[in-house]
Structure 1
């Protein structure tokens, strides 16, 4: 440990042992409390939190049965079930060690100890304690997320046939451990559906961990997903659990799966096949049991044809595939969503508002290239900016309704023009993003914009 952290409690009737242990461990841990009388344990554990307790097995002269130590071990575990305890004795009795483990001890050291081994044992227990606390914290946060998810702000709103079909598939797959691939444009609610599946599953009480693969650099991919050990690279000051391990028996949501490079795809595929991760800098594999739900707005089938996505990885990810329709594909839901968000944000900003009669029709006739996310943000802004009791279409800053004229023509030029306009509209005029979506180079799209007189 480079930076001193962690709190230890050492209980032993031998003052020399306490002094020696404190001197050996002091350079590695922030706080070390020593106590020679085990009767003080009640006060100590009820007034302070310890990452690791190092507990002697015997406290009476001439007694070597270890019963005293087992008594206090059971006392600690009964009061703090998650407490990490290392048992310590001068008598290397394997049966006694096994019995101590059975009662909940994390490890066992024999006096006199080898300093390096003693430090390593305590440090390992500390890291285990730290990981358990981090996981507990994640679960606590997840419970909060689940409460928010079940609140009105994240309720899945809609009665359209296409959305009903999505929810039907989600309900059927939730009770299984099948890998799910969620497809859909940005802003349609892929994460909301992933969370919905998790909440309906047998893993609902476990963590739901999201990883945005679009924001992780290739150099940090393995460390983030698989973890690393201390010293694996320059900034690896301590061991770190990867997201796959942190997810435990819960769900790992891999967003933007289409952004993975071929090298990262290969590493992920190997992990999913073997159900094991090897942290960076380690040689010891760790089993994983998280359910995998992934999502993308990319066409993975097209990427496979272009040899930028592995077909075998796709098979691992899409046991069940769910496509979430764009908001423009379920226009009947726009009014329901709009009323829902108006109610939500009116309450949030302590206002009493309603829509002017023509406003819902105005909103329903808009294409919403940013989908539900754009609708939600637009209504929140309208609520904030409104000075009257009614929300009108003038309270919205939207591109002209139906700006892209749909065509039924099969003329290649007309179809291509429409696709380019749609891509530009979807990405707010960002030519680079539109070109990527269309599978064109920036130079090509500029040339075609000039050809079709498209101005953005």
Structure 2
């Protein structure tokens, strides 16, 4: 079933952000209403009911403290206590975002955001609120039922995860067992297999699902900002530290902290992270006072951590700290029986999104999808179906609508029109992976690289 954002209201005093957000979200929502002036919120709420509201923390009258954002959050919740409000705040203002959660916001996003993560945050905010409403209707007081609800019966942790293959059924079973504990989890899998989706499922099925899920892309944080972003800082700790700020660890207190792409973390930062995990406390930059933390840690990577340990590129003690339980996400080629389910799901999604007639798959088209090796996994399949839905003029998709897959997987020669070295390297890597059916070890050997080096290049090129 397609996830639905419904009606979305976006309130921000930056017109560029409003227009860009509307352009992005109109593909996912029934209606996107944008508004620059927060004083019009009461009027808008009287005129319509919104499924999710994206609200800026700071407006032109108050550019730093977030007072206007808190004021309008309270106004919205006074008029509709069940409103789903996702707050927008500047990158690094985590402490303010945590205050917003305590004040009734459903979630928060940090500027600048990644488009796919913004959309996923909105989807999860709507799903979480729906689950909360379902739970509120059930007045059962037995401890067994309460425990089951906390473990995810009210909020389906597997919503949006499609698969009936043995590999996926085994994965669901492990998630159910792991989620009810506080054990640290390491999610391993290739790019595009859905590691963050699984991390969120673990959080939703856990007893921490009423507290924040905080995601951090470790590959995007520079070494100079690492401690400030993760552990927080005190006012005056460095040049731009104009106020006290909590880090991501404090923001995730009582909830789940998801460290994505942890394999990209340099050794110096690995040591600092290990110290915090061992002591279960953080010390903000510029402070001598330690703050206890209570988090559930989930990490993910597509890097070969065990080989990196052997090559002294990843600390063994940190690996043992984060991998109490390991989840190995299967590549799409390893669960081919799920390809028809996924393809039909995305065909339905994109047919509705672009207001096109529902399109089905011919036998030859589905055969082609199942024979392709999908080095980009589910994400690549999603984009392939979206492209075919847009480009096809027929109600039934044919094998020819996926001609670009044939070109990528079966072309015998390198067709190089662009001699830019970066693009050539990407093309050669794609060819090697396709030739060896996604086997990273064989592809690395053919390219004259170590597995770790190939994984780094895959990350570099977004493959």
Q: TM-score range by the shorter chain?
A: 0.5 to 0.7
Q: 2:289 aligns with which of 258, 279, 284?
A: 284
Change (3 A) 1:171 1:307: same
User: Are the equivalent residues in 1 in contact too, given 2:193–2:330 (CA < 8 A)?
Assistant: yes
Q: Deviations over 1:13-69 (max 9, x none)?
A: xxxxxxxxxxxxxxxx979xxxxxxxxxxxxxxxx9499xxxxxxxxxxxxxxxxxx
Q: CA deviation at 1:138?
A: 6.2
- Tell me the C-alpha RMSD between the 2 structures: 4.0
Q: What is the rounded CA distance, in whole Å, between the counterparts of 1:401 and 1:441 in structure 2?
A: 19
Query: Aligned residue for 1:274?
Result: 279
Q: What is the rounded CA distance, in whole Å, between the counterparts of 1:404 and 1:306 in structure 2?
A: 35
User: Are the equivalent residues in 2 in contact too, given 1:213–1:260 (CA < 8 A)?
Assistant: yes
> Is structure 2 residue 328 aligned with structure 1 residue 361?
no
Residues 138-153 of structure 1 correspond to what in structure 2 (within 5 A)? 139-141=106-108, 144-147=123-126
Change (3 A) 1:164 1:130: closer
Q: 1:205 aligns with which of 210, 228, 232?
A: 210
Structure 2: which 5+ residue stretches go unaligned?
Answer: 1-60, 64-69, 74-93, 109-120, 129-154, 413-427, 456-463
Residues 103-252 of structure 1 correspond to what in structure 2 (within 5 A)? 131-133=98-100, 136=103, 139-141=106-108, 144-147=123-126, 155-252=160-257
Change (3 A) 1:232 1:365: same
Change (3 A) 1:128 1:193: closer
Query: Aligned residue for 1:319?
Result: 324
User: Are the equivalent residues in 2 in contact too, given 1:365–1:401 (CA < 8 A)?
Assistant: no
Query: Aligned residue for 2:87?
Result: none
> Is structure 2 residue 403 aligned with structure 1 residue 392?
no
Q: CA deviation at 1:330?
A: 1.0
Q: What is the rounded CA distance, in whole Å, between the counterparts of 1:367 and 1:305 in structure 2?
A: 30
Query: Aligned residue for 1:103?
Result: none
Q: CA deviation at 1:227?
A: 0.9
Q: What is the rounded CA distance, in whole Å, between the counterparts of 2:353 and 2:189 in structure 1?
A: 29
Q: What is the rounded CA distance, in whole Å, between the counterparts of 2:204 and 2:234 in structure 1?
A: 32
SS at match of 2:363: coil
Change (3 A) 1:440 1:260: closer
Q: CA deviation at 1:248?
A: 1.6
Q: Deviations over 1:320-361 (max 9, x none)?
A: 001001101111111111111111111111122111221111
SS at match of 2:271: helix
SS at match of 1:358: helix
Q: Deviations over 1:225-272 (max 9, x none)?
A: 111111111111221111111112111110111111111111000101
Q: What is the rounded CA distance, in whole Å, between the counterparts of 1:138 and 1:269 in structure 2?
A: 31
Change (3 A) 1:218 1:272: same
Residues 83-98 of structure 1 correspond to what in structure 2 (within 5 A)? none
Q: CA deviation at 1:139?
A: 3.5
Q: What is the rounded CA distance, in whole Å, between the counterparts of 1:138 and 1:277 in structure 2?
A: 25
User: Are the equivalent residues in 2 in contact too, given 1:367–1:401 (CA < 8 A)?
Assistant: no
Change (3 A) 1:135 1:403: farther
SS at match of 2:191: coil
Structure 1: which 5+ residue stretches go unaligned?
Answer: 1-28, 32-47, 52-126, 406-416, 443-456
Q: 1:422 aligns with which of 415, 433, 439?
A: 433
Q: What is the rounded CA distance, in whole Å, between the counterparts of 1:392 and 1:193 in structure 2?
A: 32
Q: What is the rounded CA distance, in whole Å, between the counterparts of 1:252 and 1:436 in structure 2?
A: 33
Q: What is the rounded CA distance, in whole Å, between the counterparts of 1:420 and 1:274 in structure 2?
A: 46
Q: CA deviation at 1:441?
A: 9.0
Highest CA radius of gyration, 1 or 2?
Answer: 1
> What is the count of residue pairs matched by the alignment?
313
Change (3 A) 1:419 1:374: closer
Query: Aligned residue for 2:451?
Result: 438
User: Are the equivalent residues in 2 in contact too, given 1:229–1:238 (CA < 8 A)?
Assistant: yes
Q: CA deviation at 1:378?
A: 1.1
Q: What is the rounded CA distance, in whole Å, between the counterparts of 1:242 and 1:337 in structure 2?
A: 37
TM-score (norm. length: structure 1):
0.61
Q: Deviations over 1:99-128 (max 9, x none)?
A: xxxxxxxxxxxxxxxxxxxxxxxxxxxx97
Q: What is the rounded CA distance, in whole Å, between the counterparts of 2:97 and 2:160 in structure 1?
A: 34
Q: What is the rounded CA distance, in whole Å, between the counterparts of 2:250 and 2:107 in structure 1?
A: 17
User: Are the equivalent residues in 2 in contact too, given 1:138–1:207 (CA < 8 A)?
Assistant: no
Query: Aligned residue for 1:376?
Result: 382
Q: CA deviation at 1:143?
A: 7.5
